[in-house]
Amino acid sequence: MQSKTKEFDPILEVNDLFASTENLPILKGVTISVNPGEIHAIMGRNGCGKSTLSKIIAGHPSYTITKGEIKFTGEDIQSLEPEERAQAGIFLGFQYPIEIPGVSNLEFLRVATNARRKFLKKEELDTFDFEDLVREKLDLVKMDSAFLSRSINQGFSGGEKKRNEILQMALLEPKIAILDETDSGLDIDALRIVASGIKKISNESIGIILITHYQRLLDEIKPDFVHVMSDGQIIKTGESDLALELEKHGYEWTDNFSKEQ
C-alpha cells in the first residue's frame, strides 16, 4: 500500500525558474507546484511567459534555463530530452498544433502511444489493437475516425486541431498535462467538447495546468488554483474566484500587485 504522504507528493515542482531564449530573459523566477488531482490555471497577458513556461517544462530546445529547477515526480528533468519527458508522462497541449504533411495521424498516435506504453512496461499495441483503443478515445472528443487517416493536423480546422491534442492526451495518459490555450480559437460548442474531454480524462492521479485568457474555459473546468503571471513571474495566486476577479477588472488590475510569495 502506498503511504498517504507519497500520494500527495507533487507531480511537478518548478522552483525559482529563470530562463531565456537568445539571451533574452523570459522567465524571471517562477515557482509553482502541482499535486495529483489538482487543476491549476495560469492567466496573464500575452508575452508574460506562460507559453514559454509550458515549452520549457516539455523540453523545447530553444530555451535555456539559467537558474532554478524543474522536478517531475521528485526528479530533476533538466537533462532529459523532450521525448524522455513525454514518455515519463509530461504532456503539452500545443497552442498552435503543428501540421506535419505526409505522416498519418493514426500512425503518429500509435507510435506515440507505444512509446509511452513501453516506458510504463505495458505491452505495445499492434495496428489492430491500437485502432480499437483509438476509436474508444475518439468519442471523448467527438472526433470522426476519418481524422485518423489524414496527415497530422494538416488541413484541420482550429477546433479539430485542439480536439486532436486532447485525443493525444487521452491516449498518452500523462501524469501532468499542460494545456496551452487549448480554448483559443474555439466556438462555444467546440469549447464544450474540448472541456468535457479534459474533464473525462482528469482523475485523482493526474495534475493539470490550464493556460488560458478566458473565464469561459474555467466555467467548464473549475480550477483549484489560479495563478496570475506577469513579466516572467507569478505575481498572484488564489482560488477559482481570482479568475472571476480578473475577468471583472482586466489585467490592469494586476499591475498593482507586487510579487507575492
Partner 1 sequence: MVNENLVKDVVSEPYRYGFITDIETEKISKGLNEDTIRLISEKKEEPEYLLNFRLNAFKKWQQMKEPKWANLGYKEIDFQDIIYYSAPKQKEKISSLDEVDPKLLETFDKLGIPLTEQKKLTNVAVDAVFDSVSIATTFREELAEHGVIFCSISEAVKDHSNLIEKYLGSVVPANDNYFAALNSAVFSDGSFVYIPKGVKCPMDLSSYFRINSGDSGQFERTLIIAEESSSVSYLEGCTAPMFDTNTLHAAVVELIALDDASIKYSTVQNWYAGNEKGVGGIFNFVTKRGKCLGKRSKISWSQVETGSSITWKYPSCLLLGEESVGEFYSVALTNNLQQADTGTKMIHIGPKTKSTIVSKGISAGNSVNSYRGLVKMGSKAIGSRNYSQCDSMLIGDQAAANTFPYIQSQQPNSEIEHEASTCRISEDQLFYLQSRGIEFEEAVSMMVSGFCRDVFSQLPMEFAAEADKLLALKLEGSVG
The only residue of 77, 86, 134, 210 in contact with partner 1, by rule CB under 8 A: 86
> Least Å distance between CB 239 and partner 1?
30
N-to-C CA span, the chain: 35
* Cβ-proximal residues to 143 (8 Å cutoff; 6+ apart), any chain: 160, 163, 164, 167
Nearer to partner 1, 169 or 210 (CB): 169
Cell of 199: 474533464
Confirm or reject binding of residue 175 to partner 1 (CB under 8 A).
Answer: no
> Least Å distance between CB 96 and partner 1?
9
d(CA 81, CA 223): 30
Side chain identity at residue 15, one-letter code? N
**Residues 45-84 close enough to bind partner 1 by CB under 8 A:** 58-62, 81-83
Nearer to partner 1, 62 or 258 (CB): 62
The only residue of 24, 79, 101, 187 in contact with partner 1, by rule CB under 8 A: 101
Distances in Å between the Cα of 22 and the Cα atoms of 51, 52, 57, 65, 244 are 16, 13, 18, 11, 36
Nearer to partner 1, 119 or 251 (CB): 119
Confirm or reject binding of residue 151 to partner 1 (CB under 8 A).
Answer: yes
The only residue of 168, 182, 230, 233 in contact with partner 1, by rule CB under 8 A: 168
Q: Which residue is listed with cell 493514426?
A: 106
Side chain identity at residue 132, one-letter code? D
> Least Å distance between CB 125 and partner 1?
14
CA angle 216, 153, 60 (to 5 degrees): 80
**Helical H segments across the chain, by residue range:** 4-7, 50-58, 82-88, 105-119, 127-138, 158-172, 188-201, 215-220, 240-249
> Least Å distance between CB 188 and partner 1?
27
Is the distance from CB of 212 to CB of 218 less than 8 angstroms?
yes
Confirm or reject binding of residue 119 to partner 1 (CB under 8 A).
Answer: yes
> Least Å distance between CB 147 and partner 1?
16
Nearer to partner 1, 45 or 60 (CB): 60
Q: Which residues bind partner 1 (CB under 8 A)?
A: 58-62, 81-83, 85-87, 92, 94, 97-98, 100-104, 107-108, 111-112, 115-116, 119, 151, 168, 172
